[in-house]
Structure 1
Amino acid sequence: MTRAAVLTAVGAPLRVAEIDLPDPGPGQVRVRVAAAGVCHSDLSLANGTLRQPVPAVLGHEGSGTVTAVGEGVTHVAPGDHVVLNWAPACGGCHYCGLDEPWLCASGLAVPASPYATLGTDGTPLHPGLGTAVFAEETVVRAAAVLPLPPGVPLAEAALLGCAVLTGYGAVHHSARVRPGESVVVVGIGGVGLATVRSACVAGAERVIAVDVSPEKEELARACGATDFVPAGDDTVRRVRELTGGHGADVAVECAGRAEAIRTAWSATRRGGRTTVVGVGGKEQLVTFSALELFHSGRTLAGCVYGNTDPARDLPVVAGHVREGRFDLSALVTRRIGLDDIPDAFAAMLAGRGGRSLVVF
């Protein structure tokens, strides 16, 4: 038996319960979870914005220690510290063949089969995004387990599983920020803070953070933002004033809302790059005129998981952490238990804080 936060139905509150986990089968790994980040995508799964079979154990941003491996697993062993990868690539589909593993046809597929059962009555449980780290232990496919490079704190390493790789990839792979450029980041949650820090690591000269909550200024500056602009009617004007009247070279949107995407686009200079990282609902519609698309010459790009290859990028980011260029703890504003996840969801909805980290 192990404790987990269970989503019994879409829109229902999470409840902590005992669950039964199987021993790992062929090609599977059992992990004792050290920590799990509470991501906005978990909230989107819980409220139905993103599709998820229920009942389920959510949580996709996690780190931990391997306790057992199934037949055929050789890249990790019991006792190894690992990071969970919620979108492992298959290596054989059309997109993997194009060296675009973040678009893998099976990597983002919703697991169709249950992975555990509820301890009280044996109800089958589905794994949220295949990882189910809102639990003391989980069983995942071997491809979802990445060895943690040395020198990274195990608890904070959970953030490498989503927020940090997404922010890092958005800056380095999607927007391709160059030294000396200006960057505006719209939406300063966990991913937004990781994006701010990644822009600094990339050598951006000016990093402007934008958020509806004034309290985010201190968090953003702690991660390296040079400026903070409250989201509002004059956001674009203020960003342009800070960038010589032109707008930022790069804008990264991390909120997943139509108005935030529109703000990021309008705050980008002519010929600049706008990258959309936030996961919004299908009702979030953004409009552009044909004339402005022509005249602005900007590039607008979507970004899945930071366009990263976790196996390749995790060691690189870990090196930045180890060498002091990326402070993971600066992203964490609350350390909580399983029972506190609903409060963390409420804080996200209210625009409070950065990343909440469930620490076991």
Structure 2
Amino acid sequence: MPLETDIAALRERVPDTQELYREVCALMFFRYGETPTANKLYQLVRKGSMSAPAKALRDFWTEVRDKTRVDVGQPDLPAEVATAAGELAATLWRLSSDAANAALEVFRRDAQHELEAAREHVQDTVAEHEAAVNAAEQASREAADLRIENARLLARLVELETAKTMLTDQLAQSRNESAVASTALSDARREFAEELGKLRVMHNQSEQRLAATEKRALLEIDSERAAARQTRQELQAAIDRMAAAQATHQAERDQLRDALSAAKTQLTASMTRCASVEGELASRQIALDQQIAASELLRKKLEALSRQLVESGRPPASSLPLRRPSSARRRGVRRELKFTETAIRRSSTEGG
């Protein structure tokens, strides 16, 4: 069972006997809702003498009563704690009152039984006394015994009356303490009701603020959705423009690639023509140099012939001075060569 398991765990953890009994009292009362008694404690723990559970039980009830008084007497406790303390105090005092009433009832029954037994015994003694009038000595002894027994019964009766008075006083004190606890419980309930009203007002205000916040959040979400939709549209338009620009750029790049290929082809042809023209110019330069050399030789021959004619007294065949026909021709050839080179460079520049 759970109670025996918990007690076994307490036995291993708590070595002191009185402390163990107090822990078992608290366990039975607070966790399992059972009222601890000395006999039940001893049956469960079975440690020490019979006086040990009785002392532990008295200490436990004293401690519970003291703590309950202190807790309930605090006016500045929170509502929940005050409520729990009030309920605990009410439960404790109800249980203590029930236990006291039960103990008082037991004592009353025992006293009544003993009183009835004493009365019956007195009646029997009186009957025996009346029956033993003839036997004086025996009656005297019996009377002495009866007096002694009567004194003992009277002492017992006084003891029972004293115990009854004490129990009555304890019951009255318990009732007074129960009334005080009930008053504290009423105050705690009233304070709890006030705090509950305040909490309800705060809860309504919180719900209103939450509704306003939710409304603002929904508006902001709609605004963000509209902005996101517009951003997506702008992004799609930009993507479309970029695709169109990319297509245009692709077309222009293809045209430029074709133009570059054509220009390279023209450049190759121009370079080929330039090479052929340069070859032709080189051959013409060689021919020109040969013609210049031939003209120079002819000029020298003409000059020699003129000198011979002068020396012989013959006028020259022509009165015009001799000119070097090779110089003019040389300039013309050079101009032609320069014009050809300029045309070649221009063609090469346009092709590049």
**TM-score w.r.t. structure 2 length?**
0.17
* Bigger share in strand: 1
Structure number, greater radius of gyration: 2
Could you say which structure has the higher helix fraction? 2
Larger RCO, structures 1/2 (Cα 8 Å, 6+ apart): 1
